[in-house]
Every structure is written in C-alpha cells, then in structure tokens.
Amino acid sequence: MSEQVPQSTPEATAHPERAILVGIEPLTGESRRSMQELLQLVRAAGASPVDVVVQRRDRPDPATFIGRGKLVELAEEVIQRNVDVVVLNAELRPAQVKNLVDGLECKVLDRTELILDIFAQHAHSREGKLQVELAQLGYLLPRLVGRGVMMSRIGGGRRGGIGVRGPGETELEMDRRRLRQRITRLRRELAEVQRRRDTERAARRQSGLATASIVGYTNAGKSALLNALAASEEVSAHDRLFETLDPTVRRIQVAQGAEMLVSDTVGFIRDLPTELIAAFRATLDEVVAADFIIEVVDASDPQAAGQHEVTEETLGTLGALDKPQIMVLNKWDLVADSGQGEVLQARFREALPVSALHGNGLAALQARLAELIQRRRVQVTVQLPYDRLELLEQLHSRGRVLHTEYQSDYVVAQVEVDQDTLGRVQRYVVTDLSI
C-alpha cells in the first residue's frame, strides 16, 4: 500500500533528493503518527518525500526488513520515480542495510540515521559537532560494511545529501580500528567538555540563584519561551525540528527581587537514538543539575499528550523525574477556543496555557516560578562578627536581608536565603525559622 505525498520545497538544497518512506505497520493509530513524524524528519533533513509505502507484516523480515517480494516491488518504484534515498521507519540491523542497498541500489537510511543527519546539519559549535560525530560514529561502527557498499553505489552519481553529512565518506574509508581510535579521541574531548560544564555549573551555583531547565518535544517552542521570559531574541528560535543543540543559559527576573537561571537544551523525540542520549550527556546534564523543570508542550499539535509521554520517558532515562515541574501548554493562542484546548486543560489541570509568541500567560508562569523559588528559601537570623562582614555582602547578593542591627561585637541580620547560601553561614545562625 502506498500513499501519495504532497511535494515540498526544503530549505536545505535547491534540488532536494527524492525520498520514499517505508514502514511495516498499517497507517492507523500510533503507527500513522510515527509515519507522519518520519515525514517531518525527512523534510527537515532536506529531502522531498514522493511516496509513503507501508508493508503489512506482523514482524520485520530479518534479512530485508520488508520481505523479498516487497523489496523487488520497491526497487521498481525507485527506478521509475528516480528516487535517491529510501528511509525506513525503524532501526535497521547491519545485515538488513546491506541487503536493502543491494536490492534497491540507492541510499538506504533508517530512522536513527536520519535523526543523526538532522543533528549534523544543526551542529555549529565545536561542542555540538563533537557530540554529533561521536553519536554518528558509534552508530556507524557496526554498519561499516553496509554503508561502504552504499557509498560506492552512489559515488558515481550525485554526491552529498541526507545520510552522508557529519563523518561522511572519509570515515567510511577507515577500517574499524581507526574508527575506534577516533571514537576514543572524541570521548576524551567530550570528557573535557563535561569537566568544563561541571565547572560552569558550579560557578552558577555560587551565585545562589535557582536554576530551571526547559525541556520538551522538538519544535514545541522551548527557545521561543526562553526568549519571552528573558525579554530578548538572543536565542535562535525557528519553526524547525531540533533547532537547538547547544544549551543556552539566561538570567531572568520572575518577580521583584526574585531571579533565576533558565537553560534551554536539545529537544526530545519519540525513539530518540540512544547514541544521541549518550553523546549529548554533557548537554543533557543541564537538565539533571537543574532545581526545576519547565516542560513545554505544543498545545496545537494533535499529539500533544504523546509529546508529554515521550518527555516523561526521556526525563526518566536521565534520572530527572523527581524534580519539581511546571507544564506549559505553549501556542495556546491556536487552540484557546477549540475542543483540543478543552481536552488538554481537562487532562493537565495544573498546566499553564501560554503563548510564547504573543506573551499570553507569561505572568502566570513567572508567578509559579517565583513560588518555587520561595519554597527553596528559609528565613534565619545570623550573628556575624565584624571580621566576617564579607558574609553580609554575600547575603545581600545571594538572598534578601530583611533587617540589620549593628551591636557592639556583632552584626545581627534577619535574612531570607536558599539552602546553598544557608550552608555558608550555618555556624552563625542564632534562629532557624522555616517559612
């Protein structure tokens, strides 16, 4: 069964590659949503989908994924429609890739490699490029033979395109030993990145400010929300999948006298490749280290509830599900008076309807954040000797000094501070009154 796909004009190339999308389940329910998402991914990679082909099977064929008969049928369509690449909505085994390339005589990509390719397009910083290359090489290593066959098949025709970005042909010429050496070097460099990020996070902790990490499905509007909270346009925010790879940390004011640090990081997606989670650990640790989580859901997406489920699964994988969370139903202006809006509000009663684009609902979000910050603070009275007045300066900069009284031997101050700052002055506390 096949389904015609309307043509699109991707931004990536003037003459986009022609692609056929292939799945093995009926186009209903979860399977249909997964194929629709694959369609978005292919377009985001810069290709032009010309057909969606679905093979009705109980399980994938171990040799060719789609079965020998379907392979012959698909090979004929590849020739007739001048197709450059076939994309399968699954993670293929190395033998399946080789057999499909042999049978189709064109590029063959699976879902994981497609996502890696999109990441390669959006990696601009040195850190981002290191992380993407590590993920690509880790995925390539067991598939080296099949990919080598594929590259030799397309070598005489049009070069480039999806599936050959990032490590590209140079790494494909390496043997496994050299490939492993490159992976080892990348891991060492990323370990240095990890140490640097740990140092940066420790420095941010010194500020005494609460931290929040914005998470959510790719293209849900996370960067737009960060820009809205910070009242700036410094963070790149476009209507594209995986627009943000490198984390951005901004200092924002959520209420009078209440500031915090908010980070934006890579978007999640269904079946996010494990290679990416491992490679982007230094980046995703921003989520793990945060005090709070701001989950952004695209309220206008028919699969908004599914986005939330994927985000929860990914947070569970990262070990960050136990953190206080605020759910934001972004793009609310598109569903405010619709049945979908009513369904989402009924299901997620604590969620805040927000439009990052127009600023609607931001005040409620800031108030909720201020409330979380307040819960982290305690009110205490400290008795500081005059030779430790630098601590009073820290209390001014890291918290709120409510009252100060200068006595003969001490300065007595009533202050409101977070737990980190409290630890610095604990020995001088004379009363400890939690609020």
Q: Tell me the H-state helices in 91-175.
A: 94-104, 111-122, 126-140, 144-154, 168-172
pLDDT for the residue numbered 171:
47
Query: What is the torsion angle, in degrees rounded to the nearest 10, for the CA atoms of residue 22, residue 120, residue 275 and residue 128?
Result: -160
pLDDT tens digits for range 127-182? 888 888 888 888 888 777 555 555 554 444 445 566 655 555 454 555 678 888 88
Of 97, 102, 95, which is closest to residue 112 (Cα–Cα)? 97
CATH class for the region spanning 207-360: alpha beta
Residue 190 scores a pLDDT above 90: no
Residue found by looking up tokens 């070069």 in the block: 159
Secondary structure of the chain: what % helix, strand, coil (to 5)? 50, 20, 30
Name the percent of the chain lying above pLDDT 70: 82
In the chain, domain spans: 2-172, 207-360, 377-433
Q: Could you check whether 2-172 and 207-360 share the same CATH topology?
A: yes
Of 106, 120, 173, 104, which is closest to residue 145 (Cα–Cα)? 173
pTM for the model = 0.72
| Superfamily of chain region 2-172 | GTPase HflX, N-terminal domain (3.40.50.11060)
Range in 18-22, 182-186, 238-242, 330-334 the model is least confident about:
238-242
CATH class for the region spanning 377-433: alpha beta
pLDDT tens digits for range 64-103? 999 999 999 999 999 999 999 999 998 899 889 889 999 9
pLDDT for the residue numbered 29:
59
